């Protein structure tokens, strides 16, 4: 077992974060981010207003940075990527309770 960074959602779901794909924060709404990702799979990033992109290094400093951007007034939505399934999930910042480290 190792320590991994996770996103805790308000619905109780816990998503272990991918170490290969960074977590991205946006000024745009979750519906706009989802639409751009689906309509423009190779160029969606050019069509959105980014707040930040945070690589996951499974460390305290990573979790602190993720939580800082989550609670930023600029952030409306974010994309997290599951390390277990590779699934990309776009959520409102209000759907995420916090990021933290857990044994996984």
User: DSSP strand E in 1-104: where?
Assistant: 3-9, 14-16, 23-26, 50-54, 77-81, 88-92, 96-103
Please answer whether residues 17 and 23 qualify as being in contact, where contact means their C-beta atoms are separated by less than 8 angstroms.
yes
Tell me phi and psi for residue 76, to 5 degrees. Answer: -115, -30
pLDDT at 71: 97
Q: pTM for the full model?
A: 0.94
pLDDT digits (tens, 9 = 90+) for 7-20: 999 999 999 999 99
pLDDT digits (tens, 9 = 90+) for 59-86: 999 999 999 999 999 999 999 999 999 9
Percent of the chain at pLDDT > 70 equals 100
Report the relative pairing of strands 23-26 and 77-81 from DSSP bridges: antiparallel
Percent of the chain at pLDDT > 90 equals 97
Please answer whether residues 100 and 17 qualify as being in contact, where contact means their C-beta atoms are separated by less than 8 angstroms.
no
Q: Is 41 helix (H, G, I), strand (E, B) or coil?
A: coil
């Amino acid at each position: 077992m190792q320590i991994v960074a996770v996103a805790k959602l308000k619905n109780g779901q816990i998503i272990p974060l991918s170490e290969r794909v960074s977590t991205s924060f946006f000024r745009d709404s979750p519906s706009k981010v989802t639409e751009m990702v689906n309509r423009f799979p190779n160029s969606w990033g050019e069509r959105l207003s980014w707040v930040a992109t945070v690589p996951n290094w499974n460390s305290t400093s990573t979790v602190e940075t993720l939580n800082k951007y989550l609670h930023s007034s600029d952030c409306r939505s974010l994309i997290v990527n599951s390390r277990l399934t590779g699934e990309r999930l776009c959520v409102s910042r209000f759907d995420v309770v916090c990021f933290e480290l857990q044994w996984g």
